[in-house]
Structure 1
Amino acid sequence: MSSDDEGGEEYLFKIVIIGDSAVGKSNLLSRYARNEFNPHSKATIGVEFQTQSLEIDGKEVKAQIWDTAGQERFRAVTSAYYRGAVGALIVYDITRTTTFESVGRWLDELQTHCDTTMAMMLVGNKCDMVDIRNVSTEEGKSLAESEGLFFMETSALDSTNVDTAFEMVIREIYNNVSRKVINSDTYKAELSVNRVSLVNDGTGASKKSQGYFSCCSR
């Protein structure tokens, strides 16, 4: 490992949130990034992302978390959305069985568009709505185990497990990258190039039009 790996080095990881429309992806992101929840949120228009920071092993790790921006309604999530992603949250709504049945299709999309090692978590959202639950916790766990995914049930409404879910994925990405860096200086160089391309993806003005870009220490 090079000397650059010591001290306060920065990492920037791109994470995507995918899943059927209205499963709560945008509210999960706003709850994690800004501790906000909008019960009347409408379908996302345009590309939205938030940037959050964690300190892991003395290094600043930033996660740039992208929301699918309503494209999932048209089954037209583009390859550009997935480009550079090293982590994903696949979200379904525990009250709507159809959104759980769609998980396989979203996993296929990830496999098609992402050729790197990914940290992936299956997220059963809206766990506060126990009275109208249609997908059991056991079903979620079983699917996650069969696909080799992390699993967690969350509630963007009351914050249950939201921070934990995102931070588990971020830490797993860091672990994946750390293992690769130890074994490959070339991978480190590729990561640095990828990091620059993410940070400089568009002008400041276009970032504002694309969505949120706030950097908050947690």
Structure 2
Amino acid sequence: MGNRDDEYDFLFKVVLIGDSGGRQDDKGSIWDTAGQERYRAITSAYYRGAVGALLVYDIAKHLTYENVERWLKELRDHADNNIVIMLVGNKSDLRHLRAVPTDEARAFAEKNTLSFIETSALDSTNVEEAFKNILTEIYRIVSQKQIADRSAHDESPGNNVVDISVPPTTDGQKGNKLQCCQSL
């Protein structure tokens, strides 16, 4: 049995959606469920319990950015109303092939109350920051909800505590460094 420092303090479910490329015949199509009754249960299961979503597009493929609005509608239709959504422009290392201006994406995010970041999974730019930022926002919202729940129930512990995963660092200090098991 591991010691207490090896255990997680919190556990959050954060889903990853969006077009991973310019085509709709890869990973993205799995969740392209519009009008397909047989996939409704899969879609519901994927989003069930999620408190955060990373909505990813490719800065070098404008079509992936155009499809963000459709992905956002799917989130609004299937996910919890309070889900925290971060718009992620991936492949920021492809500066010479940029097809989506940063300012345009940032403005879209602000208009739709999303947080925004650009990342590069290739050279790890902002990948850790993306996860840190969304987890921080989720934690802030969950903490506020717990405080509100306790106030409403005479300081009794809330029954719907949401767990969040913030792994310990190699030196045993928690919360300073997030480890990522899936690249954007």
TM-score, structure 2 normalization: 0.71
Higher percent of residues as strand: 1
Alignment partner of 2:63 out of 70, 90, 98: 98
Alignment partner of 1:121 out of 81, 86, 102: 86
- In 2, are the aligned partners of 1:86 and 1:116 still within 8 Å (CA)? no
2: CA distance, partners of 1:17 / 1:178: 23
The equivalent residue for 1:191 is 161
Structure 2: give runs of 5+ residues left out of the alignment. Answer: 1-6, 34-41, 170-176, 178-184
Post-superposition shift, 1:79? Answer: 1.3
2: CA distance, partners of 1:148 / 1:85: 18
The equivalent residue for 1:163 is 128
Seen in structure 2, the aligned counterparts of structure 1 residues 116 and 188 have a Cα distance that, compared at 3 Å, is farther
Structure 1: give runs of 5+ residues left out of the alignment. Answer: 1-7, 24-42, 44-69, 199-214
- 1:112 is aligned with what amino acid? D
- 2:148 is aligned with what amino acid? N
Aligned length: 146
TM-score, structure 1 normalization: 0.61
Seen in structure 2, the aligned counterparts of structure 1 residues 9 and 129 have a Cα distance that, compared at 3 Å, is closer
Deviations 1:61-118 (A, max 9, x none): xxxxxxxxx2x22413611100000011100000111100111111111111122412
Seen in structure 2, the aligned counterparts of structure 1 residues 216 and 18 have a Cα distance that, compared at 3 Å, is farther
1: CA distance, partners of 2:110 / 2:134: 16
Q: Who wins on radius of gyration, i.e. which is larger? A: 2
- What is the root-mean-square deviation in Å for CA atoms of aligned residues? 2.6
